[in-house]
Each structure stands twice: as structure tokens, then as C-alpha cells.
Chain A
Amino acid sequence: MSNDQKPVLKARGIVKRYGRVTALDHADFDLYPGEVLAVIGDNGAGKSSLIKALSGAISVDEGTIELDGKPIGFTSPMEAREAGIETVYQNLALSPALSIADNMFMGRELRRKGFMGKYFGALDHAEMQRLARKKLSDLGLMTIQNINQAVETLSGGQRQGVAVARAAAFGSRVVIMDEPTAALGVKESRRVLDLIADVKSRGMPIVLISHNMPHVFEVADRIHVHRLGKRLCTINPDDYSMSDAVAFMTGAKEAPGMDDAA
């Protein structure tokens, strides 16, 4: 990873306290263009708080977050989305009874052009279905036959696919994925890892939060190890083994010199 590139998303010294608990303790974060950055850490290390701060779900007490060099201060997930940061939540945030197309455009529906759209808010169902189908086939997911099928009739992997497709379709700067393979079987995880590679190949940087070391080592370009509320180190998966990573994460082994810390 070359360090002369500017980070897309950068955080410096961010702090988040919940009462007397400090979830983020002057944490730093860097995401470079086009890379898959995995974030690993023990339970309670502050991974979720870090991701929530980046995706606008919480606002930080101290520190700065910059997107393309411009400071940002999101107060809601909606603002982060408008800035081009899309998040695939662990629970996917899909509405099971609604169709695939409805879910993909939830919260940013397209209106029909002309009188009915302008004055009666008429939705352009045909266009939304067409785009949803296109986005899914772009990611090789068109084994899903019927775009108007309810999401609850899909398998776990297919649902994950819909959520990833939604993020990839609308995320213009960064896609954040929180434990995308945690609820899936071996084969379906495979599919999602391929999706991650697909999204990456289109130049979109990805933040991947995962507990699954084989998955992390397979897709990540760099690994951000989070420990005790801050970034412990960033390692290259080619230089360390999985057990090394776990050792850093749990504190069983001394961290290497940070290879790209500011």
C-alpha cells in the first residue's frame, strides 16, 4: 500500500464516551482509495463505535473525521449516505415483506417525471425495477428472478446480496460492511466475498468489519487492528499469519511498529 496517496476517509484522535465508559480513546483511522481495509478487534474494543462514528450513527465527543480531506460531522446516517458513505448493517436493515426493488430504493425512491410525479408524488416503479435489476445483474446476482419478490422469500446470502447491491449502487465514496458473513453458511459466505471483490474491482474502497480471520485474510489489503478503544496497528496480511493477528488483537503479542501511522 503506497502511503503517498491521500486517504479517502481519515479520522484523527476521535473520542466517544458513554457515561464513564470510553468506547473510543483517541482513535485514528485511514482508508485509502480502492482498498479493502479490514477492521478487527476483540469484543468491546470499540470497533462498532468506530464504524458508527464513520457512518453517522453516533457523533464523536472529540477528534476530527475527514472525507476527501474535508472535515465532516454527521449527525444522522442519512447525512453520511448523502455524502456517499453507504453502510451494510449486520442486521441488513431490509424490510422483509417488501420487494427487492422497494428495499433497494427505500428512503430515496424515484418519482415519475411530469405532472403526476411533481404534484401527486407518483413513484416511477418501472424505472426503479429496471435499475434494481441492473444493479443486481452488475454484481452477478440475477439468479434472483423476480425483482418484485418479497425479501423474506430469499435465502440469507441472497438478502446479503441485496443489501450489498444497495450499498454499491448508491455509495459513491465508501462502502462499510459490518460482519457481512457472520450469519451465513460456507457457500453463501463465498458468494459475499466474491461480491466484495466485485465492488472493489470497480474502484470503491471498502471497510470490512469481521471476526472471521480466513475471510479477512482473503479479501483485505490492509488490516486495522483495534484494541482498547484505539488503533493498535495496521498490518499487511501478507506479512503476518492469522494467529499473529489474533495475538495482536488480544494483546498476547507486542504490536509491530505501525507501518503507516501518522
Chain B
Amino acid sequence: MSDHAQTSRQKQDFEQTLESSDSSVAQFEHKQRNLFDSVQHFLHGNPTMVPIIVLVFSIVIFGFVAGAKFFSPFNLSLIMQQVSVIGILAAAQSLVILTAGIDLSVGAIMVLMSVIMGQLAITLGVPAPLAIAIGCVGGIAAGAMNGFLVTRIKLPPFIVTLGTWNIFFALNLWLSGAQSIRSQTLDEIAPLLKFFGESIAFGGARITYGSILMLVVFGVLWYILNHTSWGRHVYAIGDDKEAAELSGIRTNRTLIMVYGLAGLVCGIAAWASIGRVGSVSPQSFQEANLQSITAVVIGGISLFGGRGSIIGPLIGALIVGVFNSGLRLAGVDVLWQVFAIGWLTIIAVAIDQWIRKVSA
């Protein structure tokens, strides 16, 4: 190796200037933070704290406004029941939004798969467990189709899922003949389809299996996202797809799997929805797509991808449930529930934007 002893060649002006320049190594300064910065940094590191704080505050406030009725075990377990289906859909939606995508078709996949489960079990006499399994596999196929169109045909997720939302809705009406399958029919032929509507009585609370299923789905997804390489890749892709690609991640393959997994969760939600509604209704959950996005956004997951915890949307769904329940118990007109959720969504995104601006 050649050593860098001074050589005889003449130095040029700009090189001589360089000699006298500061050659000390960069120091990383610790600048004073004010309270505002500290809060911003704390929230940046703990993105789920905002929804948790909102949830706690709303429970306290509605407890005061609506009185003891609100805190009854029955009412609290009812909130869990009411949010269970949207909660599970929000889990599916979160996966896609974490990759900086959006899935407008989650509700349509769910209703289509519930119709497929119902028609197979009731009209065609397929054993209920098989009908449920086919519905879940159908969910994977529907999701993977979204993923294929997004990654291979390179269409924006918004457009792809707007299209498939309509396609799945039309298929649902065609397969069901726009007819519901009644509760009694389900009880006679395939009671298993209504499994998640059953509940355990616990004090005054009625905890449905559907509520427990929601918690299990979130728990499993939390594990996958935080404790497997695949989960870390999902975050990396949402953060910066090109960087993820250069780091050696097969981004398109992972993305198709994300949409497929979201589809599977929609299939599971389909089973839960039959239990929740008590029948198979092709007209149910028409606004589920948008409600799932609301829960995700209130839960602090960034629509720009790569940021937020999967636990956030669970809290987000519960916040919506608490608002609806509290306002109803307080005797407020239902339109103000919608009004309040609208503002909550906007505020949640504003907070996300502010947190994202954090600097060192």
C-alpha cells in the first residue's frame, strides 16, 4: 500500500485552502428540547399512545355523560360485540395500508365469502366446516387477485380495489340472488356458521366468541408483523419500496402475500359476520370498507405506509364503538355519532402528519 507521505507534486490553490480547513469529526449535538418536542418524539416512538389516550379519555367522558349504564359489564361487552366484525376487517385493512396501499374491497370480499359459505352449506349441502374452509380460501384468492393486479400489472391499489369492490359486490348479488339466508335455516342445517354469535356469560357481560376471535386475529397479526422477518419486510416495503428491493427483499412477492393474507382475514371476518348478524345477508356491511379505513386511521397507522402498530386499529375500532355507545346512551341523535367520528378521523390524520415531521 502506498503511504500518503507528502509528494513532490505542486499543490493547487484549492488544495492549500483545504489544508487549513476544519478537519475535526462531526459531533452529534444534543439540542435542548421543549415540552412540545418531547411529546412529539414520544409519540413518534410510541405511535399507539394517541389512540390509547383518546380511548381512555372517551371512556371517562362518556362514563360521566351517560352515567352508570355505560360502565355496566353488559354495555362494555356489547361494544366489543358491535365492533368485532369491523375490527377484524380493520386488521386486514391495516396489513395493506402498512404497505402504503389501500384495500377498498375488504367489505365486499367479506360479504361475498359469507354468501359463498352460506350457499355451499345450505343450498348445496356441503358440510359446514368445508364450506367455511372454501370461503376462507376464496378470501385468499380474492386478495391475491388484488395483489397480482397491484404488483404485476402495476396498477394503483386504490383503482384495483375500487374495481374489485364492485366486481365482488356484483358476484355476491348474483350468487345469493339478492336473497338472505334466514337464521332458522342456518340453525337447522349449519349451526356452525353462527358459531361466533354465541357467547359466554360472565357476570353481567355477554362476551361473544366473535369478540374473542377479534382479539386473537389482532394477537396473531401483531406477532407476525413484529416478530417474523416477513413482518419487518412489510414495514420496509411500506416505508420505501425501492430501498427494500435493494436490501434484497422480494417486494412484489411479499406484496401479493400481504393482499392474500388480508383476503384470508376477510374470509375469517365473513364467518364472524354470519354469527354477528345471525343470518347470511348480501346487503349487510355495505359501508364496512370505509369503516375499516376509519378504524385504521384513528388507530394511528399512517396512510403513507410503514408506520404504526397493528394494535392501533383495534383501539381505533373500540374508540368508534365507545363513541357510538356513549352518544346513544346519552340520548344524542345518531347523526351526531357520525359527525363525531368524521372529526375524529380528520384529527387523527392531522396528528399523524405532525408526528411524521419529527426531526433529530
Contacts and interface: CB of A to CB of B under 8 A. Distances in A.
B343 interface: no
A23 B143 CA distance: 41
Interface stretch (A129-137, A183-191, A252-260): A183-191
Contacts of B243: 91-95
Interface residues of B, number: 44
A240 B249 CA distance: 43
Q: Interface range on chain A: under 10, 10 to 19, 20 to 34, or 35 or more?
A: 35 or more
A215 to B, nearest CB: 10
Nearest to A78: B248
Interface stretch (B116-124, B149-157, B159-167, B227-235): B227-235
A97 B305 CA distance: 10
Contacts of B232: 98, 102, 106, 109, 123
Nearest to A33: B1
A66 interface: no
B26 A154 contact: no
A144 B1 CA distance: 32
A243 B244 contact: no
A106 B358 contact: no
Contacts of B10: 241
B248 A98 contact: no
B23 interface: yes
Interface stretch (B14-22, B187-195, B206-214, B288-296): B14-22
30 contacts: A76-B248, A77-B248, A93-B242, A93-B246, A95-B306, A96-B239, A106-B233, A107-B248, A107-B249, A108-B248, A111-B229, A121-B228, A121-B230, A122-B227, A122-B228, A123-B229, A123-B232, A150-B45, A152-B358, A153-B41, A153-B358, A154-B360, A155-B28, A186-B21, A187-B26, A188-B26, A191-B26, A194-B25, A236-B2, A238-B4
Interface of B: 1-2, 4, 7, 9-10, 12, 14-15, 18, 21-28, 41, 44-45, 223, 227-230, 232-233, 235-236, 239-240, 242-244, 246-249, 306-307, 358-360
Interface of A: 1, 34-35, 76-78, 81, 87, 89, 91-98, 102, 106-109, 111, 120-123, 125, 143-144, 150, 152-155, 157-158, 186-188, 190-191, 194, 214, 218, 221, 236, 238-243
